[in-house]
Structure 1
Amino acid sequence: MPFDDTAALIVIDVQQGFDDPVWGARNTPDAESNIARLTTAWADAARPIVLVRHDSASPGSPLAAGSAGNALKDVVAGVPHDLLVTKQVNSAFYGEPDLHGWLEARGIRQLVICGIQTNMCVETTARMAGNLGYDVTVPLDATHTFDLDAPGGLHLTADELARATAVNLAGGGFAEVTTTDDVLRP
Structure 2
Amino acid sequence: MSELSKKIILGAVIILVVTIILIKVEQRNNSISDNDYTPPPVPLDKLSLDTKEQELKKAIAEDPNNRDLLFRLGALYFESDRFTQAIEVYRKILKINEKDVDTLNDLGLALHYTGQSNEAIKVLKQATTFNPLHQRAWLSLGFVLASTGRAEEAKNSLNRAINLNPDNPVGKEARRILGLIEKNTG
TM-score, reference length from structure 1:
0.28
Give the structure with higher Rg (CA): 2
TM-score, reference length from structure 2:
0.28
**More strand per residue: 1 or 2?**
1
**More helix per residue: 1 or 2?**
2
